[in-house]
Amino acid sequence: MVEIAPSILAADFTRLGEQIAAVEEGGAAYVHVDVMDGHFVPNITVGPFIVQAVRRITKLPIDCHLMIEDPDKYIGEFARAGANMISVHPEATSHLHRTIGFIRQAGCRAGVVLNPATPLSAIEEIVKDVDYVLLMSVNPGFGGQQFIMSSLNKLQRLRALLQSCGSQARIEIDGGISAENAAVVAGAGAEILVAGSAIFGQASPAKAVQQMLQVVTEAQRV
């Protein structure tokens, strides 16, 4: 089943509660929180404090995408703030296997993230130990960028890699996802679709989630 994880990066933060309630009503499966530190990526966003606030207003699992250097320092804090899923970039940590262990010890599902130029081989040794792989289909740092087309081929190769390793990890895709390409990315093997501007940039975020789910369900029926 394909699920939608709206990224609050594109939400109106003056009405965050309302906006999250809307996507929840529309059928979103997770709330995706993009954490950026101005070092690993050229943008600064939010920290555990916002995760704590989001935790108070939704029952949906919180999916924290950490785009920060040395994530080990903050995993405990994000978990205590209410994160259910935490993903990290291999380039941001010296000991990825240990970092994944810290996420699990903190009681969260652990994910590893692939940047557009990071080869699949960077995660080959860890795929058996993660709950999900997040494939970036834009360079991380900003919402509203264009989907990088070569991500489709990478997605298919990632699906094959997981199968060949006997990994149960789910595939999440992030960046430039919209109702126009949702069916194609789902067809190529993505199971969790992150979308920011295509959802919160619409007049009705609830309808935008419904529509994306509908597009994917219809495509899977044929």
Q: How far is CA 190 from CA 48, 137, 149, in A?
A: 27, 11, 14
Tokens of 17: 């509660």
**Which CB, 34 or 37, lies closer to Zn ion?**
34
Instruction: Mark residues 60-79: x for contact with Zn ion by CB under 5 A, - for none.
Output: -----x--------------
**Which CB, 117 or 222, lies closer to ligand DX5?**
117
- Among residues 179, 172, 171, the alpha carbon closest in space to that of 199 is found at 179
How far apart CA 74 and CA 66 sit, in angstroms, is: 9
Instruction: Please state the closest distance from residue 148 (CB atom) to ligand DX5, in A.
Output: 11
Applying CB under 5 A, the span of 40-48, 72-80, 148-156, 167-175 interacting with Zn ion comes to 167-175
In terms of DSSP bridges, do strands 85-88 and 3-6 run parallel, antiparallel, or are they unpaired?
Answer: unpaired
**Which CB, 55 or 65, lies closer to ligand DX5?**
65
| Cα-Cα-Cα-Cα dihedral sign, residues 215, 9, 59, 108 | positive
190: Cβ contacts below 8 Å, ≥ 6 apart: 2, 135, 155, 171, 172, 173
Point out the residue whose Cβ comes nearest to ligand DX5.
196
Q: Does residue 34 interact with Zn ion by CB under 5 A? A: yes
- Among residues 15, 12, 70, 16, the alpha carbon closest in space to that of 39 is found at 70
Tokens of 66: 């950490």
Q: Which of 92, 108, 174, 195 binds Zn ion (CB under 5 A)?
A: 174
- Among residues 117, 121, 78, 120, the alpha carbon closest in space to that of 99 is found at 78
Active site residues: 34, 174
Question: Which entry of Zn ion, ligand DX5, none binds 176, CB below 5 to 8 A by partner kind?
Answer: ligand DX5
**Which CB, 164 or 170, lies closer to Zn ion?**
170
Residues that bind ligand DX5 (CB under 6 A): 7, 9-10, 32, 34, 65, 138, 140-141, 143-145, 174-177, 194-198
Instruction: Please state the closest distance from residue 177 (CB atom) to ligand DX5, in A.
Output: 6
Question: Which entry of ligand DX5, Zn ion, none binds 9, CB below 5 to 8 A by partner kind?
Answer: ligand DX5
What residues make contact with Zn ion under the rule CB under 5 A?
A: 34, 65, 174
